Structure 1
Amino acid sequence: MSQLSEAPVSSASFTVTGAERMREVGRRLAALLRPGDLVLLTGELGAGKTTLTRGIGEGLGVRGAVTSPTFVIARVHPSLAGGPPLVHVDAYRLGGGLEEMEDLDLDVALPESVVVVEWGEGRVEELSEQRLHVVIHRSRGAGADDEAADDTREVTATGVGPRWAGVDLSVLGAA
């Protein structure tokens, strides 16, 4: 891979409060996605990765409930709207990097699908020089009564590669 293709070409950071708002970010992201897109989601347990993916599924109009694929590793959700299928992967339990992921045939699914990989950082970047990396940081409240802070997420979306050049990712965080 060339150094140029690895450079971020677009980025946006914003604050999200609440699960419904995170799903809305996912629905907005779905409007930007197209077949062949790889989306990596990074964040601690409970950060909102699956909630964001649920919104992507809603926006793509896919069949089936989007739930965490932790135990099955990957789920394919066909489109009900004539768009690309959503391949939802949880790489949390996979430690071997791309070699372990090859059994999932993601490289075969990628050209016609939108592939979203939770816990994919450091594991699946080699699938595509062009990808969107979404980092979700969960804020922690100062005290037990600080539920608003516990429900707040700082999100950074970074596009890598020519596919994301000129894509306005700030629309994801629009109020």
Structure 2
Amino acid sequence: MRRTIADPETMHAFGQELSGLLRAGDLMVLTGPLGAGKTTFTRGLGEGLRVRGAVTSPTFVLARTHPSTVGGPALVHVDAYRLSSAMELDDLDIDFARSIVVVEWGRGLLEGITESWLDVEIERPLGASQADPGAEVDDAVALDLPEPRTVTVTGHGPRWRAGLGLAAAAVPAVPDEPGSA
């Protein structure tokens, strides 16, 4: 599934929508450059799952567990940027079987962790600071610009073999380019 997400609010809403598909044992891998919206997406997941605590980037702690406030599975939010192998991810002692786990920067670290996962790739445009080489725009400001992002969600393994079952227009989005799937 591929969508163009118009702004941070829509990215958050998309995370909320996907939360309805998830259950204990599910794993999502988020890939995208800095400022793409990985944490905004995860914040939406957390809200949809009704977990406790503010969902923020776990960059310095590597992983944060957010227990459910309604008896559902916990959300474990991992930042794997500084990890170099599946073994290091496994060393975090995450309860994959009873949690919903979201791993930012986790592509290539799943070998042996699980047989099914969702790959969520967020593509971010160059932004105002890079689109005009002569423009002097602070990088932090450029990361916050509400530029459309392209999000591609791909299911891997037996859990997702039948697809995601999401309606293409369930979340307001800017139209995809002609010919995109």
TM-score of the superposed pair, with normalisation by structure 2: 0.82
The sequence identity of aligned pairs, in percent, is: 55
Which of 17, 24, 30 aligns to 1:28? It is 17
Contact 2:77 2:101 in 1 (8 A): yes
Q: Does 1:102 align with 2:90?
A: yes
Residue aligned with 2:19, SS: helix
Residue aligned with 1:156, SS: strand
Q: Describe the superposition over 1:2-47 as per-residue Cα deviations: whole angstroms up to 9, x where unpaired.
A: xxxxxxxxxx001001111100010001000000000000001111
The change in CA–CA distance for 1:60 and 1:128 in structure 2 (over 3 A counts) is same
The change in CA–CA distance for 1:168 and 1:29 in structure 2 (over 3 A counts) is same
Question: In the comparison of the two structures, how many residue pairs are matched?
Answer: 160
Tell me by how many angstroms 1:104 deviates: 0.6
Contact 2:121 2:152 in 1 (8 A): yes
Match of 1:157?
153
Contact 2:80 2:103 in 1 (8 A): yes
Unaligned runs of 5+ in 1: 1-11
Residue aligned with 2:96, SS: helix
Which one has a larger percent strand, Structure 1 or Structure 2?
1
After TM superposition, the structure 1 = structure 2 runs for residues 98-137 of structure 1, keeping only pairs within 5 Å, are 98-106=86-94, 109-137=95-123
CA RMSD of superposed structures (Å): 2.1
Q: Describe the superposition over 1:33-85 as per-residue Cα deviations: whole angstroms up to 9, x where unpaired.
A: 00000000000111110110000000000000000000000000000011110
Q: Which has the higher contact order (CA 8 A, sep 6+)?
A: 1
CA distance in 1, matches of 2:100, 2:170: 21
Q: Does 1:174 align with 2:171?
A: yes
- The residue identity in structure 2 corresponding to 1:72 is V
Compare CA radii of gyration and give the structure with the larger one: 2
Residue aligned with 2:112, SS: helix
Contact 2:90 2:113 in 1 (8 A): no
Tell me by how many angstroms 1:121 deviates: 0.1
